[in-house]
């Protein structure tokens, strides 16, 4: 296949890691993959092209309005690729009626000034097929396609046994620098994060240093206050009590190295994503790190994506007790991590995603 991805690449956000993985995996599998646009020195390994007619399909990967090209490039793209060969991957559930879950929502009228109906009509005007990274889309005309995937070759360290993993996890030259790391922006995550931090506060001495990477963990942004947007709150006193260090960002190709510096790394999905069962790049990539993922996710999603062994990585209501047991019996939980990696390598690789895409194109 010859596939042209359409999206705004950002080294620190959205689908950059996933798209670069499609480029790598596609090349190995004999596909030709490029990103629509002029060549970028920021992403030298990513092929770019504006020769739309050379490609079989154009795949729009949409998070925000800026993922659509500006004129005249958008017109060139729509003129050069027939609608029946244009596909949208709706990464944030825009192609639904307006949904509000806690403080989270799928249409950002206050931020981007676009109403829900504009997203729906706009998607239908651009593409013949609309995909969402969920196994259970709400609309009957949406194709389920998880999009993101697991790359076994990207795993920081490969282990044959849980005991071997524990030895590396504890650190050959002493313990890891951090007890826990987390990479993600403070957008509609504070409610979950606060509950999690309050639950593990009693473990502070045993757990050690904690580091968050992402924007708005240090203070609530002025624009959020001015627009009255909730879910981007923060409690500096709580972070200070737990000794949480905050850093602004980490590039997509440094994520695995960074989280491997911590013994634990929680995986959160936004409330909206939990409601729609949407997955993200972190759903899969976190299992590439030399860390124990803490799955703060609905158990139904965990079972559907990760397989049965991953249930041991779901702390349930007793987060502190579960993490304390992980520190006392790490081999028991590393066994679950290794089995989950094997499950992901069998069911959720980029090769598998190409097969799924091909089946969707043929429908």
pLDDT digits (tens, 9 = 90+) for 327-356: 999 999 999 999 999 999 999 999 999 999
Region 226-242 average pLDDT: 89
Sign of CA dihedral 58, 64, 69, 12: negative
Token couple for 279: 């997955």
Residue-wise burial string across 255-269, b where 16 or more C-beta atoms lie within 10 A, e elsewhere: bbebbbbbbbbbbbb
Q: How confident is the model at residue 108 (pLDDT cuts 50, 70, 90)?
A: confident
CA distance 361 to 356: 9
State residue 227's pLDDT score: 84
CA distance 322 to 315: 5
Question: Given phi > 0 = left and psi -120 to 50 = alpha, else beta, which region is 303?
Answer: alpha
Region 190-200 average pLDDT: 95
CA distance 340 to 180: 20
Share of the chain above pLDDT 70, in %: 98
- pLDDT digit string (tens) for 93-104? 999 999 999 889
Cβ proximity of 131 and 145 under 8 Å: yes
The number of CA neighbours under 13 Å toward the Cβ of 272 is 21
- pLDDT digit string (tens) for 146-191? 999 999 999 999 999 999 999 989 876 667 899 999 999 998 899 9
CA distance 327 to 333: 9
């Amino acid at each position: 296949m010859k596939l042209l991805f359409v999206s705004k690449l950002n080294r620190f956000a959205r689908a950059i890691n996933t798209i670069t993985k499609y480029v790598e995996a596609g090349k190995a599998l004999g596909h030709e993959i490029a990103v629509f646009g002029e060549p970028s020195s920021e992403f030298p390994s990513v092929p770019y092209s504006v020769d739309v007619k050379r490609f079989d399909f154009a795949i729009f990967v949409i998070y925000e309005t800026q993922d659509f090209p500006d004129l005249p490039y958008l017109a060139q793209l729509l003129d050069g690729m027939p609608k029946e060969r244009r596909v949208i991957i709706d990464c944030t559930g825009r192609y639904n009626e307006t949904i509000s879950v806690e403080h989270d929502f799928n249409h950002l009228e206050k931020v981007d000034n676009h109403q829900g109906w504009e997203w729906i009509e706009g998607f239908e005007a651009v593409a013949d097929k609309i995909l969402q990274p969920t196994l259970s889309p709400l609309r009957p005309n949406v194709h389920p396609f998880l999009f993101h995937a697991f790359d076994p070759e990207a795993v920081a360290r490969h282990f044959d046994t849980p005991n071997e993993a524990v030895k590396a996890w504890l650190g050959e030259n002493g313990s890891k620098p951090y007890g826990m790391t987390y990479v993600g922006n403070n957008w509609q995550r504070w409610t979950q994060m606060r509950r999690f931090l309050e639950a593990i506060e009693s473990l502070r001495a045993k757990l050690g240093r904690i580091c968050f990477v992402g924007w708005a963990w240090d203070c609530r942004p002025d624009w959020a206050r001015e627009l009255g947007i909730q879910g981007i709150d923060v409690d500096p006193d709580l972070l200070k009590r737990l000794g949480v260090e905050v850093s602004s960002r980490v590039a997509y190709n440094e994520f695995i190295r960074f989280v491997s510096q911590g013994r634990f790394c929680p995986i959160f999905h936004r409330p909206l994503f939990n409601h729609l069962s949407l997955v993200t790049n972190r759903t899969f990539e976190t299992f590439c790190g030399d860390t124990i993922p803490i799955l703060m996710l609905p158990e139904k999603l965990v079972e559907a994506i990760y397989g049965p062994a991953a249930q041991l990585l779901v702390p349930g209501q007793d987060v502190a007790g579960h993490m304390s047991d992980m520190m006392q019996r790490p081999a028991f939980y590393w066994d679950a991590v290794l089995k989950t990696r094997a499950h992901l390598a069998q069911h959720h690789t980029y090769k598998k995603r190409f097969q799924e895409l091909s089946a969707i194109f043929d429908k």
